[in-house]
Structure 1
Amino acid sequence: MANVLLIEDDTAVAQALMLGLRRLDHDVEHLPDGNRDLAEPLRRNDVLVLDLGLPGRDGFDICRTVAAEQLLPILVLTARSDDIDIVASLEAGADDYVTKPVSPRVLDARIKALLRRANSPRPAAGEEPARASVIVADLEIDEESLEVRRAGQLLELSPTEMRMMITFARNPGRVLSRDALFERVWGSDFRGDSRVVDTTVQRLRGKIETDPKHPAVLVTVRGFGYRLAP
C-alpha cells in the first residue's frame, strides 16, 4: 500500500483511478491542477502520479520542480504516446510513464515497481559492496545516507539520479554500458528503452560537473558507455 498523490484535471479519469487504486489498498490524494503550493501534499505521499496536460502550470514544469527539490518518485500519466513527449518527460525528471487509458491494476503494478526501484539498488555480480562513502574529485557519494555532496554542498538528486550515482559508486573506474545501466537503475519491469540512460547522465552532469559540456567525473567512453573517473 502506498500514499499516492494524483494530479489530474480530468474528473472522470481521476475518479476512476482513485476508486480503483483505493480498492487495491492505496491511499490517494487528488489535486485537479498544480496551481497551488505542493510542498505539503508532496511530503504526505510516497509517489506522484502526474498528468502532463494540466490547465495553467503544465506537468513538465511540475515534474522539473519536484525532481529538483524532492526525493519523490514521479510517474507521468499522459495521453501523449509519441517518443518526443515521453523522452521530454523523462528529461524533466520523471522516473516512469504510462499512457492513457490505463487500468488501475496496471497503474498499481507500475507504482509498486517504481517504489521498489526507489530503494537503493542491489549490487550486481562483481560490484563492490556498499561503502560509507566514495570520493571522486570534489564529489562525495554516501550510499548509507543516500546523499551526494559536491565540495561539501548537498545536491538535490531525483531517485533515479541517486540510483545511477550509487551504481557508478559501486563500479569506480569501470565502464558501464547503456544496457547495463538501464538494467541496474530502471530494472527489467521498466517499459522504456536505454535512451533514458543518456538523458539521466546529462541531468547528472549538470549537477556534479564543474563544466557539464566537458565532463571530468562522469565521462563517456565512446562506443561502450560511461564510467565514473577514479
Structure 2
Amino acid sequence: MYTILIADDESEIVELLQLYLEKEYNILQAHNGTEALKLMQSHEVDLAILDIMMPGMDGLQLLKKIRETHHFPVLFLSAKSQYHDKILGLELGADDYISKPFNPLEIVARAGAMLRRVHHFDAQAVPEKKADQIVLGRLTLDRSGCLVYLSGQPVTLTSTEYKILELLMEQPGRVFTRKKIYEAVWEDFYVYEDNSIMVHISNIRDKIERDSKKPEYLKTIRGLGYKIEAPVGE
C-alpha cells in the first residue's frame, strides 16, 4: 500500500480524509508542518496532502523543505482560494491545489490519479511499447527512471512537470492546447480556465532553457497552446 501524509491543523479534516483514504492507503497524520516533517524523516511517503495555513511551519514552508530532498506529488488543500496563493504553491513545486470546502471523493480521485502518474500502476491500460529514451537536441527524457537530462546533467522536475514534458516530447512540433495537456496529465476533464498549466510551463522553462524569457525549446503558440521542438542547429 502507498503511504499518504495528511497535514492540516483542523483535526476534523484530517479524520475525514483518513476515513475516505484508509481503505486503499496507509495514512500518516500531522497537525502542523513540524510534525509532518518529522514523519517524513521516519517514514517513506508517496503523496502529501497539505494545508497552507498551519501553526509554526505552514504548508508553503513545508513544501520548500520537501522539495529539497523529495519529489513525491504534493496536493495543497486550503481555504485560501485567491489565484496568487495557488500560483505560489505551484511555483514552489506543488502538483495540484483544491480549495476548501471540498468533496472528499474528489480528493480520493485526485490522489489516485497522482499516484498512477508517478508509479504507473493503472492496470486498466495496456501500455504500448515506447522507447526508453526521447532525445530532443540537448534534452534527454529517460522513461525507465522518470528522469530528464540537459546536456548530460540531471534536471530536477516535479512529477507534474515531468509528465507535461514527456507529453510534449513524445510529439515534437505538435501544438497541444491547454485542454489536451490538462486532460492527459491530470487525467481529468478540463472544466475551467486557470493558470495552473501556465505556471508549470514557466517552471519547466526555468529549468531547461538558457533564457526562460526567450525559450528555444518550449514555445507558446499564441491563442492555441504549447509545443516543443529542438532549437535550430541542435
TM class by smaller structure = 0.7 to 0.9
Distance 1:120 1:25 in 2: 16
Specify the alignment match of 1:186 in structure 2: 186
The residue matched to 1:98 in structure 2 has which SS? strand
Distance 2:215 2:143 in 1: 22
1:170-209 equivalent positions in 2, closer than 5 A: 170-189=170-189, 193=193, 195-209=195-209
Specify the alignment match of 1:98 in structure 2: 98
Alignment CA distance shift 1:191-1:4 (3 Å): farther
33-42 vs 150-159, greater mean Cα deviation? 33-42
The amino acid of 1:32's aligned partner reads H
Alignment CA distance shift 1:165-1:120 (3 Å): farther
Q: What is the TM-score with the length of structure 2 in the denominator? A: 0.81
Alignment CA distance shift 1:50-1:190 (3 Å): farther
- Do structure 1's residue 164 and structure 2's residue 164 form an aligned pair? yes
The amino acid of 1:96's aligned partner reads D
8 Å CA contact retained: 2:7, 2:36: no
Distance 1:194 1:66 in 2: 25
195-204 vs 56-65, greater mean Cα deviation? 56-65
8 Å CA contact retained: 1:75, 1:98: yes
Specify the alignment match of 1:26 in structure 2: 25
Distance 1:66 1:192 in 2: 29
The amino acid of 2:217's aligned partner reads V
The residue matched to 1:38 in structure 2 has which SS? helix
Distance 1:222 1:103 in 2: 35
Q: CA deviation at 1:220?
A: 1.9
Distance 2:54 2:111 in 1: 21
Q: CA deviation at 1:167?
A: 0.5
Distance 2:168 2:162 in 1: 10
8 Å CA contact retained: 1:178, 1:194: no
Specify the alignment match of 2:77 in structure 1: 77
Distance 2:96 2:171 in 1: 25
Specify the alignment match of 2:222 in structure 1: 222
Identical-residue share of aligned pairs (%) = 30
Deviations 1:87-146 (A, max 9, x none): 332333222222223454443232112222335699xxxxx9632322223221112321
Alignment CA distance shift 1:101-1:156 (3 Å): same
The amino acid of 1:219's aligned partner reads K
The amino acid of 1:80's aligned partner reads K
The residue matched to 1:173 in structure 2 has which SS? coil
Deviations 1:150-187 (A, max 9, x none): 12111111010010111011111222222221221222
Unaligned runs of 5+ in 1: 123-127
Specify the alignment match of 2:61 in structure 1: 61
Q: What is the TM-score with the length of structure 1 in the denominator? A: 0.83
8 Å CA contact retained: 2:113, 2:186: no
Alignment CA distance shift 1:37-1:51 (3 Å): closer
Distance 2:129 2:167 in 1: 11
Alignment CA distance shift 1:135-1:21 (3 Å): closer
The residue matched to 1:227 in structure 2 has which SS? strand
